[in-house]
Structure 1
């Protein structure tokens, strides 16, 4: 049985000690799939939805980047990290759904999966917030890591 990495011998929470780990290039990509519905997508103007609050996707990208940088403030056992790159991309999957991809990279001793997940999540929540006056039928369907490299194990989905 695997031991939880954030529980100490005394069964209390702890931050993982990475002092003896090697510095490697770390990369993680997380996605959020979001159902918007035709009503919202029909408001599309080129590649952006404009609302009274401003451009939805551009605002969501900025919010996602800010969230990545604040991950250690939001999730107690995450290390504050010297991030090298953050990229958030929003793509239409079909006439009702979008895919938000958050890619985070750095050189360090611990991974950036939580940062990528946080960025994708907050970007999706920002889209919801900016479009909720039009429809509250939106659904954030799936948030997951689809790629991770640079640690003990790599993931590619």
Structure 2
């Protein structure tokens, strides 16, 4: 199976119908969307899921989300009302958004580097279920799972 990089997979998956809304719902429920996109990538590639692997990815993602991505997102969101009233703030807010996206890309690179040598194995279908947030998010996870499968199939065809 071709080894499509996680960033390309994430962009292609996120662009599929319903995925953006599903990811925003999951994020609102406390999920790390980058970690879930990595889980979807691993699941679509048949990589075995186990506790040490999940813990490694979580330990890698949590500090980056907390210290880098979330502060950028919070500032960008806090500026939204002001940017609606002050046109000079809007370009700065867009730069923040681009920086937030670049921080997410850096996290996806870190997650890929941590997992790229993992072989296919049993329990590969458990990635999303094991890394899901608390609460009822089954519908959003199913949208992400289905989109990940379709993305992987499309990338295999390229």
- Fold shared by both chains (TM-score > 0.5): no
Classify the TM-score, shorter chain.
0.3 to 0.5
More helix per residue:
2
Answer with 1 or 2: which has the greater Rg: 1
Give me the TM-score of the superposition, normalised by structure 1. Answer: 0.33
More strand per residue:
1
Give me the TM-score of the superposition, normalised by structure 2. Answer: 0.32
